[in-house]
Chain A
Amino acid sequence: MTGDPGEEAQTQAVVSDQDVVRVRQLVRTAAVTAKLSLVDQTKVVTAASELARNTLVYGGGGSVQVRVVRQRRSGVRVELADDGPGIGDLELALTDGYTTGGGLGLGLSGARRLVDEFEIDTAPGRGTRISIVKWAR
């Protein structure tokens, strides 16, 4: 079920840390439109912030699409794509505390905990595509 196409997707290129701020603002606006609770808005914006930073730092930049989705419930879908090196060992990358970038290693694993749906498509040399959804309750 594809549901109502709803709002058009907003696209944001991610090539600087200011773009990560813009992604947060886009996701916040979409989360308000989708009538997410304040806590759920905060969770999906935080998850998007972690993932957009990954796109920038590990993916070498990329783009993010944000849209309001409407099925039985409304929600926010955020899709991130980069053409970076990709992730070799996904299971390891999704482990709390694992990092190759000197961070806290909570970006990927933490972001997954904060959303309702989390899909990742990646392989070495193929870049990384991540899609997350947070539904209104």
Chain B
Amino acid sequence: MDRVPVLKLGDVLLVSIQVDLADKTTVQLEEDLSERIVATGARGVIIDISALDIVDSFVGRMLATIAAISRVLDAETVVVGMRPAVAITLVELGLSLHGIQTALNVERALEVLSRARDDDWIPPLDTEDDTAPAAP
């Protein structure tokens, strides 16, 4: 069985799917990624599907599941490189990929992830502002 490699880049896990995914490989990737998110404490996951010439409901569900799992594990998932024909087909198939962030390429995805992290950053309390809530 093929196994899709998961690469670590700083606090981001990068997955580039280069094979026509059999269902078992898809399920294996889902498990591998969840384990690696926890093991590495990754804050972001980038899944590059630019080499996939189709995404059917099984792979679509894997993408949605990984996004949901990573959210629970405090990481953000961005799917990159979806081909236009794949996007058209997915929508007509009825898969909306709800809740999945997408970006044009890996570079943009890294920007999205670093912006998300900046938004997470809570500024120190302004001591001059009396209305500021007390720190927990």
Enumerate chain A interface residues (CB-CB to B < 8 A): 17-18, 20-21, 24-25, 28, 38-39, 41-43, 45-46, 49-50, 53, 96, 103-104, 106-107, 109-111, 113-114
Contact = CB atoms under 8 A, between A and B. Distances in A.
Interface in B8-63: 20-24, 53-58, 60-61
Given A17-B23, A20-B22, A106 B94 contact: yes
Given A17-B22, A104-B95, A113-B94, A46 B89 contact: yes
Contacts of A17: 22-24
Contact of A42 (B60, B61, B88, B94): B88
Given A42-B54, A42-B85, A50-B56, A113 B93 contact: yes
Contacts of B58: 49, 53, 103
A53 B22 CA distance: 10
Contacts, number: 71
B57 A104 contact: yes
B6 interface: no
Nearest to B85: A42
Given A45-B54, A49-B54, A107-B57, A38 B94 contact: no
A104 B90 CA distance: 13
Interface residues of B, number: 23
B61 A103 contact: yes
Contact of A106 (B23, B53, B57, B86): B57
A6 B35 CA distance: 50
A52 B84 CA distance: 24
B94 A49 contact: no
Contacts of A38: 85
A23 to B, nearest CB: 11
B53 A39 contact: no
B92 interface: yes
Contacts of B23: 17, 20, 53
Interface of B: 20-24, 53-58, 60-61, 83-86, 88-89, 92-95
B124 to A, nearest CB: 45
Contacts of B94: 96, 106, 109-110, 113
A99 B53 CA distance: 26
Contacts of B95: 104, 106, 110
Given A42-B54, A42-B89, 17 more contacts: A17-B24, A18-B22, A21-B22, A24-B20, A24-B54, A41-B85, A42-B53, A42-B86, A45-B54, A46-B55, A49-B56, A50-B93, A53-B23, A103-B57, A110-B92, A113-B94, A114-B93
